[in-house]
Protein backbone atom coordinates (compact mmCIF):
# COMPACT_ATOMS: atom_id res chain seq x y z
CA UNK A 1 0.00 0.00 0.00
CA UNK A 2 2.78 2.41 0.92
CA UNK A 3 4.72 1.61 -2.25
CA UNK A 4 1.60 2.11 -4.37
CA UNK A 5 0.94 5.49 -2.71
CA UNK A 6 4.57 6.48 -3.29
CA UNK A 7 4.34 5.62 -6.99
CA UNK A 8 1.09 7.59 -7.25
CA UNK A 9 2.64 10.64 -5.62
CA UNK A 10 5.68 10.48 -7.89
CA UNK A 11 3.34 10.38 -10.87
CA UNK A 12 1.71 13.74 -10.03
CA UNK A 13 2.93 16.50 -12.42
CA UNK A 14 5.16 19.14 -10.76
CA UNK A 15 2.84 21.91 -11.97
CA UNK A 16 -0.06 20.35 -10.09
CA UNK A 17 2.06 20.02 -6.93
CA UNK A 18 3.13 23.67 -7.08
CA UNK A 19 -0.45 24.84 -7.69
CA UNK A 20 -1.65 22.86 -4.66
CA UNK A 21 1.13 24.39 -2.54
CA UNK A 22 0.03 27.88 -3.61
CA UNK A 23 -3.53 27.18 -2.46
CA UNK A 24 -2.41 25.67 0.86
CA UNK A 25 0.00 28.52 1.55
CA UNK A 26 -2.61 31.17 0.73
CA UNK A 27 -5.19 29.59 3.03
CA UNK A 28 -2.70 29.16 5.87
CA UNK A 29 -1.46 32.74 5.45
CA UNK A 30 -4.83 34.43 5.01
CA UNK A 31 -6.69 32.72 7.90
CA UNK A 32 -5.37 34.98 10.69
CA UNK A 33 -6.18 38.14 8.71
CA UNK A 34 -9.65 37.04 7.68
CA UNK A 35 -11.10 39.46 10.22
CA UNK A 36 -9.29 42.42 8.64
CA UNK A 37 -10.43 42.48 5.01
CA UNK A 38 -8.05 45.20 3.99
CA UNK A 39 -6.38 45.32 0.65
CA UNK A 40 -2.88 45.24 2.09
CA UNK A 41 -3.55 42.13 4.22
CA UNK A 42 -4.87 40.21 1.25
CA UNK A 43 -2.00 41.48 -0.87
CA UNK A 44 0.57 40.24 1.67
CA UNK A 45 -1.15 36.84 1.74
CA UNK A 46 -0.91 36.69 -2.06
CA UNK A 47 2.79 37.66 -2.01
CA UNK A 48 3.46 34.98 0.63
CA UNK A 49 1.88 32.20 -1.45
CA UNK A 50 1.51 32.80 -5.21
CA UNK A 51 5.29 33.04 -5.97
CA UNK A 52 5.61 29.40 -4.90
CA UNK A 53 4.30 28.47 -8.34
CA UNK A 54 7.72 29.48 -9.78
CA UNK A 55 9.84 28.11 -6.93
CA UNK A 56 11.58 25.43 -9.04
CA UNK A 57 12.82 27.90 -11.67
CA UNK A 58 13.64 30.79 -9.31
CA UNK A 59 14.14 29.40 -5.78
CA UNK A 60 16.11 32.42 -4.46
CA UNK A 61 13.79 35.08 -5.85
CA UNK A 62 10.75 33.16 -4.67
CA UNK A 63 12.19 32.83 -1.18
CA UNK A 64 13.02 36.54 -1.04
CA UNK A 65 9.51 37.68 -2.05
CA UNK A 66 7.75 35.17 0.22
CA UNK A 67 10.07 35.93 3.14
CA UNK A 68 9.59 39.70 2.95
CA UNK A 69 5.82 39.22 2.76
CA UNK A 70 5.79 37.03 5.90
CA UNK A 71 8.04 39.50 7.77
CA UNK A 72 5.72 42.34 6.75
CA UNK A 73 2.75 40.42 8.15
CA UNK A 74 4.57 39.89 11.44
CA UNK A 75 5.54 43.57 11.70
CA UNK A 76 1.91 44.51 11.01
CA UNK A 77 0.83 42.30 13.94
CA UNK A 78 -1.04 39.92 11.62
CA UNK A 79 1.45 36.99 11.50
CA UNK A 80 0.34 33.85 9.65
CA UNK A 81 -0.90 30.88 11.58
CA UNK A 82 1.76 28.78 9.84
CA UNK A 83 4.38 30.29 7.48
CA UNK A 84 3.85 27.64 4.80
CA UNK A 85 5.32 29.84 2.08
CA UNK A 86 8.55 30.38 4.00
CA UNK A 87 8.87 26.71 4.89
CA UNK A 88 8.36 25.61 1.27
CA UNK A 89 10.80 28.25 0.03
CA UNK A 90 13.55 27.13 2.45
CA UNK A 91 12.86 23.49 1.50
CA UNK A 92 13.24 24.39 -2.20
CA UNK A 93 16.49 26.28 -1.64
CA UNK A 94 17.93 23.35 0.32
CA UNK A 95 16.87 20.86 -2.34
CA UNK A 96 17.85 22.73 -5.51
CA UNK A 97 20.53 25.33 -4.76
CA UNK A 98 24.30 25.20 -4.48
CA UNK A 99 25.97 24.96 -1.03
CA UNK A 100 26.90 28.67 -0.86
CA UNK A 101 23.37 29.71 -1.80
CA UNK A 102 21.94 27.32 0.77
CA UNK A 103 24.02 28.90 3.54
CA UNK A 104 22.90 32.37 2.52
CA UNK A 105 19.32 31.08 2.65
CA UNK A 106 19.86 29.78 6.18
CA UNK A 107 21.34 33.11 7.30
CA UNK A 108 18.47 35.07 5.73
CA UNK A 109 15.93 32.76 7.40
CA UNK A 110 17.52 33.24 10.83
CA UNK A 111 17.50 37.02 10.39
CA UNK A 112 13.88 36.92 9.21
CA UNK A 113 12.79 34.85 12.25
CA UNK A 114 14.62 37.18 14.61
CA UNK A 115 13.02 40.27 13.10
CA UNK A 116 9.56 38.67 13.09
CA UNK A 117 9.84 37.73 16.77
CA UNK A 118 11.87 40.53 18.38
CA UNK A 119 10.35 43.63 16.74
CA UNK A 120 6.69 42.75 17.45
CA UNK A 121 7.71 41.57 20.96
CA UNK A 122 6.59 37.96 20.56
CA UNK A 123 7.25 35.34 23.23
CA UNK A 124 10.38 33.17 22.93
CA UNK A 125 8.19 30.09 22.55
CA UNK A 126 7.20 31.47 19.16
CA UNK A 127 10.88 31.65 18.19
CA UNK A 128 11.40 28.03 19.27
CA UNK A 129 8.30 26.95 17.35
CA UNK A 130 9.43 28.72 14.18
CA UNK A 131 13.00 27.50 14.57
CA UNK A 132 11.93 23.85 14.80
CA UNK A 133 9.63 24.22 11.79
CA UNK A 134 12.30 25.84 9.59
CA UNK A 135 14.99 23.34 10.67
CA UNK A 136 12.64 20.50 9.73
CA UNK A 137 11.96 22.11 6.33
CA UNK A 138 15.67 22.54 5.66
CA UNK A 139 16.41 18.95 6.69
CA UNK A 140 13.67 17.66 4.40
CA UNK A 141 15.14 19.67 1.52
CA UNK A 142 18.63 18.25 2.10
CA UNK A 143 17.15 14.74 2.27
CA UNK A 144 15.28 15.29 -1.00
CA UNK A 145 18.49 16.58 -2.59
CA UNK A 146 20.42 13.47 -1.48
CA UNK A 147 17.63 11.22 -2.71
CA UNK A 148 17.60 12.95 -6.11
CA UNK A 149 21.40 12.65 -6.36
CA UNK A 150 21.21 8.95 -5.52
CA UNK A 151 18.46 8.44 -8.10
CA UNK A 152 20.60 10.23 -10.72
CA UNK A 153 23.56 7.98 -9.91
CA UNK A 154 21.34 4.90 -10.22
CA UNK A 155 19.97 6.13 -13.56
CA UNK A 156 23.47 6.77 -14.83
CA UNK A 157 24.61 3.35 -13.64
CA UNK A 158 21.61 1.70 -15.29
CA UNK A 159 22.28 3.54 -18.55
CA UNK A 160 25.95 2.54 -18.42
CA UNK A 161 25.04 -1.10 -17.80
CA UNK A 162 22.60 -1.02 -20.71
CA UNK A 163 25.31 0.45 -22.95
CA UNK A 164 27.77 -2.22 -21.82
CA UNK A 165 25.20 -4.95 -22.46
CA UNK A 166 24.47 -3.56 -25.91
CA UNK A 167 28.20 -3.38 -26.66
CA UNK A 168 28.62 -6.96 -25.43
CA UNK A 169 25.81 -8.10 -27.75
CA UNK A 170 27.46 -6.32 -30.68
CA UNK A 171 30.83 -7.88 -29.85
CA UNK A 172 29.27 -11.33 -29.61
CA UNK A 173 27.46 -10.87 -32.93
CA UNK A 174 30.69 -9.74 -34.55
CA UNK A 175 32.54 -12.72 -33.10
CA UNK A 176 29.90 -15.17 -34.35
CA UNK A 177 29.86 -13.48 -37.77
CA UNK A 178 33.65 -13.80 -38.02
CA UNK A 179 33.54 -17.45 -36.95
CA UNK A 180 30.83 -18.31 -39.45
CA UNK A 181 32.63 -16.43 -42.20
CA UNK A 182 35.90 -18.23 -41.50
CA UNK A 183 34.26 -21.63 -41.26
CA UNK A 184 32.06 -21.28 -44.35
CA UNK A 185 34.62 -19.64 -46.64
CA UNK A 186 37.36 -22.11 -45.73
CA UNK A 187 35.27 -25.26 -45.92
CA UNK A 188 33.16 -24.27 -48.93
CA UNK A 189 36.22 -22.96 -50.77
CA UNK A 190 38.04 -26.24 -50.31
CA UNK A 191 34.94 -28.22 -51.26
CA UNK A 192 34.51 -26.14 -54.44
CA UNK A 193 38.10 -26.72 -55.49
CA UNK A 194 37.83 -30.45 -54.81
CA UNK A 195 34.49 -30.69 -56.61
CA UNK A 196 35.95 -28.96 -59.68
CA UNK A 197 38.84 -31.40 -59.69
CA UNK A 198 36.57 -34.41 -59.19
CA UNK A 199 35.31 -34.88 -62.77
CA UNK A 200 38.86 -34.73 -64.12
CA UNK A 201 40.03 -37.26 -61.57
CA UNK A 202 37.13 -39.60 -62.39
CA UNK A 203 38.30 -39.89 -65.98
CA UNK A 204 42.03 -39.94 -65.33
CA UNK A 205 42.47 -41.59 -61.92
CA UNK A 206 39.41 -43.24 -60.32
CA UNK A 207 41.28 -43.96 -57.10
CA UNK A 208 42.23 -40.32 -56.72
CA UNK A 209 38.65 -39.32 -57.54
CA UNK A 210 37.40 -41.47 -54.69
CA UNK A 211 39.85 -39.76 -52.34
CA UNK A 212 38.66 -36.36 -53.57
CA UNK A 213 35.05 -37.16 -52.83
CA UNK A 214 35.99 -38.55 -49.42
CA UNK A 215 37.80 -35.28 -48.74
CA UNK A 216 34.69 -33.31 -49.74
CA UNK A 217 32.59 -35.36 -47.31
CA UNK A 218 35.13 -34.96 -44.51
CA UNK A 219 35.34 -31.21 -45.10
CA UNK A 220 31.55 -30.89 -45.04
CA UNK A 221 31.22 -32.87 -41.82
CA UNK A 222 33.94 -30.81 -40.17
CA UNK A 223 32.23 -27.59 -41.29
CA UNK A 224 28.90 -28.74 -39.85
CA UNK A 225 30.55 -29.50 -36.52
CA UNK A 226 32.26 -26.11 -36.39
CA UNK A 227 29.07 -24.30 -37.37
CA UNK A 228 27.18 -26.13 -34.64
CA UNK A 229 29.71 -24.93 -32.07
CA UNK A 230 29.68 -21.37 -33.43
CA UNK A 231 25.89 -21.16 -33.44
CA UNK A 232 25.63 -22.67 -29.95
CA UNK A 233 26.00 -19.17 -28.52
CA UNK A 234 22.70 -18.19 -30.16
CA UNK A 235 20.67 -20.89 -28.46
CA UNK A 236 18.45 -19.97 -25.55
CA UNK A 237 19.13 -20.99 -21.98
CA UNK A 238 16.30 -23.55 -22.22
CA UNK A 239 18.04 -25.22 -25.15
CA UNK A 240 21.73 -25.40 -24.24
CA UNK A 241 24.19 -26.40 -26.93
CA UNK A 242 27.20 -28.62 -26.53
CA UNK A 243 29.87 -25.94 -26.27
CA UNK A 244 33.06 -27.65 -27.35
CA UNK A 245 36.35 -25.74 -27.25
CA UNK A 246 37.12 -23.51 -30.20
CA UNK A 247 39.97 -24.64 -32.48
CA UNK A 248 43.43 -23.34 -31.71
CA UNK A 249 47.07 -23.74 -32.60
CA UNK A 250 46.91 -27.46 -31.85
CA UNK A 251 44.32 -27.86 -34.62
CA UNK A 252 46.56 -26.30 -37.29
CA UNK A 253 47.97 -29.71 -38.23
CA UNK A 254 44.54 -30.94 -39.29
CA UNK A 255 43.82 -27.72 -41.17
CA UNK A 256 47.10 -27.92 -43.06
CA UNK A 257 46.59 -31.60 -43.88
CA UNK A 258 43.12 -30.76 -45.21
CA UNK A 259 44.68 -28.13 -47.49
CA UNK A 260 47.33 -30.54 -48.70
CA UNK A 261 44.66 -33.03 -49.77
CA UNK A 262 43.52 -30.68 -52.54
CA UNK A 263 46.98 -30.71 -54.05
CA UNK A 264 48.54 -27.61 -52.50
CA UNK A 265 52.09 -27.97 -51.17
CA UNK A 266 52.04 -26.58 -47.62
CA UNK A 267 55.18 -26.48 -45.49
CA UNK A 268 55.27 -25.64 -41.79
CA UNK A 269 58.13 -24.04 -39.90
CA UNK A 270 58.16 -23.58 -36.14
CA UNK A 271 60.81 -21.30 -34.62
CA UNK A 272 61.32 -21.19 -30.88
CA UNK A 273 59.60 -23.06 -28.08
CA UNK A 274 55.81 -23.24 -28.08
CA UNK A 275 54.14 -21.68 -25.06
CA UNK A 276 50.72 -21.58 -23.48
CA UNK A 277 48.73 -18.68 -24.88
CA UNK A 278 45.42 -17.02 -23.94
CA UNK A 279 42.29 -18.49 -25.50
CA UNK A 280 41.63 -15.47 -27.74
CA UNK A 281 45.21 -15.56 -29.07
CA UNK A 282 44.94 -19.31 -29.62
CA UNK A 283 41.76 -18.90 -31.70
CA UNK A 284 43.09 -15.82 -33.54
CA UNK A 285 46.24 -17.68 -34.65
CA UNK A 286 44.13 -20.55 -36.01
CA UNK A 287 41.69 -18.24 -37.82
CA UNK A 288 44.48 -16.20 -39.38
CA UNK A 289 46.08 -19.32 -40.87
CA UNK A 290 42.68 -20.67 -41.91
CA UNK A 291 41.61 -17.49 -43.69
CA UNK A 292 45.02 -17.07 -45.33
CA UNK A 293 44.95 -20.64 -46.68
CA UNK A 294 41.37 -20.12 -47.87
CA UNK A 295 42.42 -17.02 -49.81
CA UNK A 296 45.32 -18.92 -51.34
CA UNK A 297 43.08 -21.80 -52.43
CA UNK A 298 40.36 -19.56 -53.87
CA UNK A 299 42.31 -16.69 -55.41
CA UNK A 300 46.08 -16.98 -55.47
CA UNK A 301 46.58 -19.85 -57.97
CA UNK A 302 49.62 -20.80 -55.94
CA UNK A 303 51.47 -24.09 -55.89
CA UNK A 304 53.29 -23.66 -52.62
CA UNK A 305 52.44 -22.11 -49.23
CA UNK A 306 54.72 -21.58 -46.26
CA UNK A 307 53.29 -21.36 -42.74
CA UNK A 308 55.65 -20.10 -40.05
CA UNK A 309 55.11 -19.87 -36.28
CA UNK A 310 57.83 -17.83 -34.59
CA UNK A 311 57.70 -18.04 -30.79
CA UNK A 312 59.36 -15.59 -28.43
CA UNK A 313 58.90 -14.67 -24.79
CA UNK A 314 56.50 -11.82 -25.52
CA UNK A 315 54.81 -12.50 -28.87
CA UNK A 316 53.85 -15.13 -31.39
CA UNK A 317 54.44 -14.24 -35.04
CA UNK A 318 52.18 -16.09 -37.47
CA UNK A 319 53.15 -15.82 -41.15
CA UNK A 320 51.53 -17.36 -44.23
CA UNK A 321 53.36 -16.84 -47.55
CA UNK A 322 52.46 -18.16 -51.01
CA UNK A 323 54.01 -18.05 -54.47
CA UNK A 324 50.83 -17.16 -56.31
CA UNK A 325 49.73 -14.11 -58.22
CA UNK A 326 49.27 -11.88 -55.16
CA UNK A 327 46.40 -9.49 -54.51
CA UNK A 328 44.42 -11.96 -52.40
CA UNK A 329 43.60 -9.27 -49.84
CA UNK A 330 40.87 -7.77 -51.95
CA UNK A 331 39.96 -10.61 -54.24
CA UNK A 332 36.30 -11.43 -54.21
CA UNK A 333 35.37 -8.33 -52.23
CA UNK A 334 34.89 -10.35 -49.03
CA UNK A 335 35.55 -9.63 -45.40
CA UNK A 336 38.33 -12.13 -44.77
CA UNK A 337 41.18 -9.68 -44.28
CA UNK A 338 38.95 -7.34 -42.27
CA UNK A 339 37.93 -10.22 -40.00
CA UNK A 340 41.57 -11.24 -39.52
CA UNK A 341 42.52 -7.69 -38.62
CA UNK A 342 39.64 -7.38 -36.13
CA UNK A 343 40.62 -10.62 -34.42
CA UNK A 344 44.26 -9.62 -34.15
CA UNK A 345 43.47 -6.12 -32.90
CA UNK A 346 41.07 -7.54 -30.31
CA UNK A 347 44.01 -9.53 -28.91
CA UNK A 348 46.22 -6.45 -28.79
CA UNK A 349 48.28 -7.49 -31.80
CA UNK A 350 49.01 -6.17 -35.28
CA UNK A 351 48.40 -7.53 -38.79
CA UNK A 352 50.26 -6.84 -42.01
CA UNK A 353 49.19 -8.16 -45.39
CA UNK A 354 50.39 -7.45 -48.91
CA UNK A 355 52.43 -8.63 -51.85
CA UNK A 356 55.82 -10.08 -51.02
CA UNK A 357 58.61 -7.64 -51.83
CA UNK A 358 61.22 -10.34 -52.48
CA UNK A 359 59.25 -12.48 -54.94
CA UNK A 360 55.86 -13.16 -56.42
CA UNK A 361 53.08 -14.06 -54.06
CA UNK A 362 51.24 -12.72 -51.05
CA UNK A 363 52.12 -12.68 -47.36
CA UNK A 364 50.08 -12.32 -44.19
CA UNK A 365 51.87 -11.67 -40.88
CA UNK A 366 50.09 -11.41 -37.51
CA UNK A 367 51.92 -10.45 -34.34
CA UNK A 368 50.05 -11.69 -31.28
CA UNK A 369 51.00 -10.94 -27.64
CA UNK A 370 51.21 -14.10 -25.53
CA UNK A 371 51.64 -12.46 -22.12
Write the Ramachandran bin of 333: left for phi over 0, alpha for psi from -120 to 50, otherwise beta.
left
Per-residue model confidence (pLDDT) at position 331? 45
Instruction: Using alpha carbons, select from 244, 235, 250 the residue that is nearest to residue 283.
Output: 250
Helix (H) or strand (E) holding 318: strand 315-322
Task: Give me the torsion for CA of 338, 339, 344, 348, rounded to 10°.
Answer: 80
Q: Vertex 364, ends 359 and 370: CA angle to 5°?
A: 135
Mean pLDDT of 175-182: 75
Beta partners for 47? none
Is the confidence at residue 335, as pLDDT, over 70? no
Angle between helix axes 39-47 and 14-30 (nearest 10 degrees) is 150
List pLDDT tens digits, range 238-286: 444 445 567 889 989 988 888 887 778 899 999 999 989 998 899 899 9
C-alpha 300/C-alpha 328 separation (Å) is: 6
d(CA 243, CA 228): 9
Length reported for the chain: 371
In this structure, CATH architecture of domain 248-371: 2-Layer Sandwich (3.30)
Contact 299, 352 (CB under 8 A): no
CA distance 22 to 223: 74
Asked if the model's pLDDT at residue 37 lies above 80, the reply is: no
Strand order in the sheet with 350-355: 265-271, 304-311, 315-322, 362-369, 350-355
Q: 243, 232 in Cβ contact below 8 A? A: yes
- Reported pTM: 0.51
Please state, in angstroms and rounded to a whole number, the distance separating the CA atoms of residues 107 and 105: 5
The domains of the chain are located at 2-122, 248-371
Q: Is 122 in a helix, a strand, or coil?
A: coil
Does residue 332 surpass a pLDDT of 70?
no
pLDDT at 316 over 90: yes
Identify the three-state secondary structure at position 315: strand
Q: Is residue 213 over pLDDT 60?
A: yes
- Long-range contacts of 94-102, Cβ-Cβ distance < 8 Å, separation of 24 or more: 94/137, 94/138, 94/139, 94/140, 94/141, 94/142, 94/144, 94/145, 95/141, 95/142, 95/144, 95/145, 95/148, 96/56, 96/59, 96/145, 97/59, 97/60, 101/60
Give the mean model confidence (pLDDT) for residues 215-228: 76
Amino acid sequence: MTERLSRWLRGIPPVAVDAALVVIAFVATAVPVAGWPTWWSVGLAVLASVPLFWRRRFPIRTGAVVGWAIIAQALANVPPLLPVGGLVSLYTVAALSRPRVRWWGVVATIIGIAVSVVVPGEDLSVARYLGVAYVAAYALGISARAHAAQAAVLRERTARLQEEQAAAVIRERTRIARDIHDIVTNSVGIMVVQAEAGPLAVRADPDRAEAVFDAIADTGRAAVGQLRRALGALRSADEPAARQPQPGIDALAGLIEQTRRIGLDVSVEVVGEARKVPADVDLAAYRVVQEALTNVVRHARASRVEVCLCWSVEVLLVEVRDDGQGGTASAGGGYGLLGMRERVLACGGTLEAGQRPDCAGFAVAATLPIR
